[in-house]
C-alpha cells in the first residue's frame, strides 16, 4: 500500500532564504507526483506536476525534482517571500490503483518571516 | 485552462437539512471526478470517486446513503449531504481529471459546510 510522508511537518524561515521541502513515497509504481499549495481555509493550488519519466519541473522560483527509484521528491523554493507562507502538499498517483486516486502526504506548514 | 468550479463556497444550515454541492469542469470534459473531505489541520481524505454515467465508488467508512454522488455529465458532479448533522461540518473539495492514468487532477476551491 502506497504511503506518502512529508518532512518537516512545519518550517519557519526568514524571508529571502532558499528552502527545500521533502516528500517520500513507498511504492515507485507511479504515474506522476504533484505538489500543491493550500492557504488557510482555501482550496488547493497545483504548483507542479512531474510525470514518472521526468526528473524535474520548474515554475518561476519553484523547482520540483523526482527520484522514482528512491521514492523521493523535493520542492525547492528560491528567495522565499512572506506570500509563500502556506501548507504544501505532495500527492502521488499510483499505477496499481484502478481508480487513479491520489495518495496524499500530511503536508508541510511553511511560515516565511518578514 | 483546466478550471474546476465548485459551488457554493460556504453553506450554513440547520441540522436535518440536505445540502447539495456542485462541481463543474468549465473547459474540459472530466472522465473522473473525486470528492474529498478535509478536517482542520489535516490532509485531504478521499470520500468517493465518480465516473460519468456510473455509480460512485466510495471509500471504506464513507456512508453512501449519507453522501449521495451523482455524475450526470462529463462536466458536472454533485455531492448531496443528506439529513446533515453537526458532525458533517467540514471542508469538502472536489477534483476532476481528464483522461486516464498520467493526467493531473484539477481542484475546485472547496465548500465550507457548517451545520448548526
The tens digit of pLDDT for each residue in A37-81 reads: 999 888 899 999 999 999 999 999 999 999 999 999 999 999 999
Spell out which residues of chain A touch residue B110, defining contact as CB-CB under 8 Å: 42-44
**Interface residue B23 vs chain A (CB under 8 A):** no
> From CA B26, how far away is CA B10, in angstroms rounded?
20
pLDDT digits (tens, 9 = 90+) for B72-103: 888 999 999 999 999 999 999 999 988 766 77
Average pLDDT over residues B12-21: 96
Per-residue pLDDT tens digits for A70-95: 999 999 999 999 999 999 999 999 88
Interface test with B, best of A37, A44, A92, A95 (most B CBs within 10 A): A44
With a pLDDT cut of 90, the percent of chain A lying above it is: 82
> Do A32 and B104 meet the contact criterion of CB atoms below 8 Å apart?
yes
Q: Is B73 on the interface with A (CB under 8 A)?
A: no
- What's the CA gap between B103 and B2, in Å, rounded? 11
Please identify which residue in the block is written with the cell numbers 459546510: B113
Amino acid at each position: 500500500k502506497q504511503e506518502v510522508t512529508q518532512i518537516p511537518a512545519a518550517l519557519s524561515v526568514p524571508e529571502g532564504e532558499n528552502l527545500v521541502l521533502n516528500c517520500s513515497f513507498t511504492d515507485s509504481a507511479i504515474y506522476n507526483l504533484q505538489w500543491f499549495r493550500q492557504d488557510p481555509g482555501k482550496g488547493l493550488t497545483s504548483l507542479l506536476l512531474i510525470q514518472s519519466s521526468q526528473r524535474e519541473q520548474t515554475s518561476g522560483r519553484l523547482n520540483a525534482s523526482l527520484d522514482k527509484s528512491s521514492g523521493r521528491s523535493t520542492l525547492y523554493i528560491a528567495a522565499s517571500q512572506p506570500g509563500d507562507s502556506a501548507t504544501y502538499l505532495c500527492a502521488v498517483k499510483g499505477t496499481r490503483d484502478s481508480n487513479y486516486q491520489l495518495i496524499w502526504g500530511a503536508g508541510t506548514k511553511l511560515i516565511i518571516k518578514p | 485552462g483546466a478550471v474546476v468550479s465548485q459551488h457554493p463556497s460556504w453553506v450554513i444550515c440547520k441540522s436535518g437539512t440536505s445540502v447539495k454541492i456542485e462541481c463543474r469542469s468549465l473547459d474540459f470534459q472530466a472522465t473522473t471526478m473525486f470528492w474529498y473531505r478535509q478536517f482542520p489541520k489535516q490532509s485531504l481524505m478521499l470520500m468517493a470517486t465518480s465516473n460519468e454515467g456510473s455509480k460512485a465508488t466510495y471509500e471504506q467508512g464513507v456512508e453512501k446513503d449519507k453522501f449521495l454522488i451523482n455524475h450526470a455529465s462529463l462536466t458536472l458532479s454533485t455531492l448531496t449531504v443528506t439529513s446533515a448533522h453537526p458532525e458533517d461540518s467540514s471542508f469538502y473539495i472536489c477534483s476532476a481529471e481528464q483522461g486516464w492514468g498520467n493526467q493531473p487532477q484539477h481542484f475546485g476551491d472547496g465548500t465550507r459546510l457548517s451545520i448548526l
